[in-house]
Amino acid sequence: MVTVCDNCSMFSIKRFLWREYCLMSRTFCRDHVPSRTQTYAVWRVFHTSACEQHHHLPTSRIPRIRVAMYDHCKRPKFTVCVEGNIGSGKTTLLEYFASVGDVEILAEPVDKWRNVNGHNLLDLMYKDPHRWAHLFQAYVQLTMMEQHLKNTLSPVKLIERSLYSARYCFVENLYREGKMSEAEYNVYCQWYNMIVQNMDVGVDLIVYLRADPEKVFERIKKRSRKEEQLIPLEYLKDLHALHEEWLIEGKHPLPAPVLVLNANEDLPVMERIFKENAASILCSNQLKESASTN
Ligand code: TTP
Ligand code: MG
């Protein structure tokens, strides 16, 4: 709703524009920076509705805001993060949807973690977490941020994991286990808070692949990713509990609604479950609604 400003202060105009921008950027392209004329056109429409007497401010005073323009990005975009314990089937879900829908998938950059200019940080972290966990998680945070910020062309962007699960599951676990010191944990959390408070992480839905720790333990053994061979069942139980705390019990902030899927089944059944939930995962209902209002 438009609030009519009494004195037409630039502050209230900016606040109003900013709110409109935030509303639009949930639905349209976040990265289009409009030209000065386009900004003015948008600003004038908003400002006219905000205060009818004062819509002729000089263009030099137009706030330099970033506005999502309808012309440049007709299709709305939804970001879905796929969460769940190690080996719960996140990559499998991504691959399934890549083969059936107009989606862009961003698989987890595990290969980057395994080769930072020749250094395998994932391996170092498992071998000596006291020494390497903080550095490893700092790098995970950086690469996750890249995933969140990445521009995609498809209307739906599916990301394996997020900044949030790294923070609330893995880092929390390392700290509780004493593998990350209090100082390291504090520095990590300050970085994390700065990022989520200042960056539009823009998650619209979380799909939680909920699997029993015993089940994922079996799968991890089978797929034999070399760095993970010594992972004990206890570690997977702890991670499972932290996923539950975050995604089911609401102990930490949730950036979006959560769709919970039973991920204990084998591939053919999992594919059936993915298919049954495709409309929710691909946000097709919301996409249709947004398309019809454009
Ligand atoms: P996952 O992020 O769980 O990915 P995955 O490919 O194992 O899962 P799925 O089988 O469901 O596709 O973990 C990848 C590896 O990285 C795993 O060894 C755990 C580790 N990891 C951390 O140690 N800290 C982190 O913050 C993250 C995100 C992963
Ligand atoms: Mg994976």
Cα(123)–Cα(226) distance, integer angstroms: 8
> Which of 96, 108, 135, 208 for a ligand 1 pocket mutation test, highest count of atoms within 8 Å of Cβ?
108
Ligand 1 residue neighbourhood (C-beta within 6 Å): 84, 86-91, 108, 110, 122, 137, 140, 161, 166, 170, 228
Per-domain residue ranges of the chain? 10-61, 78-291
Please report, in tens digits, the pLDDT of each residue of the chain (294 residues total): 334 344 444 334 444 454 444 444 443 344 444 445 445 555 554 444 444 444 333 333 333 333 333 333 333 478 999 999 999 999 999 999 998 878 999 999 999 999 999 999 999 999 999 999 999 999 999 999 999 988 888 888 999 999 999 999 999 999 999 999 999 999 999 999 999 988 878 888 999 999 999 999 999 999 989 999 999 999 999 999 999 999 999 999 898 999 999 999 999 999 999 999 998 888 755 444 444 444
**Ion ligand 2 neighbours, Cβ < 5 Å:** 90-91
CATH architecture of 78-291: 3-Layer(aba) Sandwich (3.40)
Q: Is the pTM of this model over 0.85?
A: no
